[in-house]
Structure 1
Amino acid sequence: MTAGEFHKMHGLGNDFVIIDCRAVAVPMTDRRARAIADRKTGIGCDQMILLEKSDNADVRMRIYNADGSEVESCGNATRCVVALIGHDCTIETAGGLISGILEGNAVSVNMGLPRFEWQDIPLAFAMDTAAMPVAWEDLESPMAVNVGNPHAIFFVPDADLVDIAKLGPVIEADSVFPQKVNVNIASIEEGYIKLHVWERGAGLTRACGTGACATAVAAIRKGLARSPVDVRLPGGTINITWNDGEPIVMKGPAAHVFTGQANWDDFG
């Protein structure tokens, strides 16, 4: 049997099962990832994280959404991994090499450079990513940004009034996004950005670190906000610093909930 330790952690309510596989490998499939993430019959999480050895960083992070799909990047999980490791470190992800710094009870993460070209999002065909010529009901002309994973950002008068649970899955799976997309609904408030996120492969979450990064970048690029800016999600606030041509720096909390033991063969 394959048994081992896991850590349950969260960043502003965006929660993870983190398995350190650097000493003992844990074979992973989409079926097993879904079973572990299941909140009724598994351990339960938005994303499941595997830590592996890396040749060019302190650790390699692999990220599985609750639906079992493996994705490139997760900002809240990155902060949790830095907190779990317990010191400043570099992390290899499928979305690129990133670095984290412990700052008291918070973690700052250098998320790298945002990308704006249509093929880097990616989109199905060439179009203006600053104001995509597409719409879903009243949501129209989103900005598309890749921050290690793809995001579409809609700015509306009040993000609380949009039925993201209805429109999120429709936009996520639209054919214009060949690798699907994270859907961000934002409104500019006095001194901060209000944000709700429908995460690709995970659904509606209390917080999304890459969503906060992408939305802050979009707002700054459009002249709607200035760096640094606070992004308030249902789970709490993330601070984003970004200037054109520079990497995104995300700062926010990371919490360790408990450590447990599991027999991974029980999950398929």
Structure 2
Amino acid sequence: MRVDFTKMHGLGNDFVVLDARARELPAIDQDIARALADRRTGIGCDQLIVLEPSDTADFRMRIFNHDGGEVGACGNASRAVALLHGSPADVETAGGTIRVEPANDGASVDMGEPRFDWDAIPLAYGMDTAAMPVGWDGLDQPGAVNVGNPHVIFFVPDTDAVPLETLGPEIENDALFPERVNVNVATIESRTHIRLRVWERGAGLTRACGTGACATAVHAMRRGLVEREVRVTLPGGDLTIGWGEDNRITMTGPATESYRGSFDWSDFA
């Protein structure tokens, strides 16, 4: 069976998109997702994105990380899918329904409402998620936010000085986080600007993480450190994050289609 794909990226966070809305594909599991994502023997990507019909929205978006694990949200992929779809749409995800709208070589995405309760992150036990009484090798008192997937956020003097390649996997897999966690280290540059690096659960260091930008911005807003709309600079570029009075998060930024191709399903199944 020959299957078409579209390779896309948002600020360097790259995706293989399979469109199963009109043509049903064989069942997607962890093994085939991991095989397609492999950069040496597959197509190569941070996430595999599968579009499917939905009973509750215009279509459904499934998200598989580089390690094959399925997750609830991906902000950069949401912008890429908006660009691919070409018109405003309600999109069902495992983390909730989001609204996407193409705009200026990218997209604006209504990412929904953040969750702060410890059991919604989730954490292994109850604590204040605005200033958690925990730490790892100099990183301490983080905040935690769920924006469709779980994030922990540390504010530091210089995000580039943090050895995230070693601390990231340690924190991601700590027993405090029963579903693992995305790790964000951020520097507040001004009331309207944050610099951010992210260790992404199941993918590792990434050039950009849309949900990480949302979670970090909202946590900074919750702490009163920034205004309700900020520019978040990641290694791959900038996103604009707003948190409205209606409690919903809006993310705006670029997305790019890289190329299209096809593969034989049996080569990866």
| 1:36-62 deviation per Cα after TM superposition (whole angstroms, max 9, x unaligned) | 000000000000000000011111000
Q: Find the residue that maps to 2:168 and give its secondary structure.
A: helix
Letter in 2 for 1:186: A
The amino acid that maps onto 1:4 is: V
Task: Tell me, in whole angstroms, the C-alpha distance in 2 between the residues paired with 1:86 and 1:165.
Answer: 36
Aligned to 1:66: 66
Aligned to 1:20: 19
Q: Which residue of 2 aligns with 1:231?
A: 232
- In structure 2, distance between residues paired with 1:244 and 1:179: 30
Q: How far apart, CA to CA, are the structure 2 residues paired with 1:48 and 1:102?
A: 21
How far apart, in 1, do the equivalents of 2:245 and 2:131 lie?
A: 18
Matched, 1:102 2:78: no
- Equivalence map 1:161-240=2 (5 Å): 161-190=161-190, 191-240=192-241
Q: Quote the Cα distance in structure 1 between the aligned partners of 2:246 and 2:7.
A: 36
**Alpha-carbon distance in 2 for matches of 1:248, 1:34:** 30
SS in 2 for 1:78: helix
1:154-191 Cα offsets, whole Å, 9 max, x none, are: 00001010000010000000000000000000001134
Measured after TM superposition, the shift of residue 264 of structure 1 is 1.6
Whole-Å Cα distance in 2 between the matches of residues 68 and 25 of structure 1?
Answer: 20
Deviates more, 1:147-156 or 1:188-197: 188-197
Does the CA contact (< 8 Å) of 2:124 and 2:176 recur in 1?
A: yes
| CA apart distance, 1:223 | 1.1
Alignment TM-score, normalising by the size of structure 2: 0.98
AA aligned opposite 1:109: V
Question: Structure 1 unaligned runs (5+)?
Answer: none
Shift of 1:23: 2.0
Per-residue deviation, 1:245 = 4.8
**CA RMSD across the alignment:** 0.9
Matched, 1:131 2:131: yes
The number of equivalent residue pairs is 267
State the percentage of identical aligned residues.
58
Distance 2:245 2:23 in 1: 42
CA shift at 1:3, angstroms?
Answer: 1.6
Measure, in 2, the Cα distance between the counterparts of 1:56 and 1:85: 17
Q: Give the Cα–Cα distance (whole angstroms) in 1 for the partners of residues 245 and 222 of structure 2.
A: 8
Deviation at 1:25, TM superposition (A): 2.3
Residue in structure 1 matched with residue 254 of structure 2 by the alignment: 253
Say which SS state the counterpart of residue 179 (structure 1) adopts.
coil
2:111 alignment partner, SS class:
strand
**Contact 2:130 2:144 (C-alpha < 8 Å) held by counterparts:** yes
2:82 is aligned with 1:78: no
In 1, Cα distance between equivalents of 2:133 and 2:37: 36
Cα distance in 2, alignment partners of residues 29 and 100 from structure 1: 26
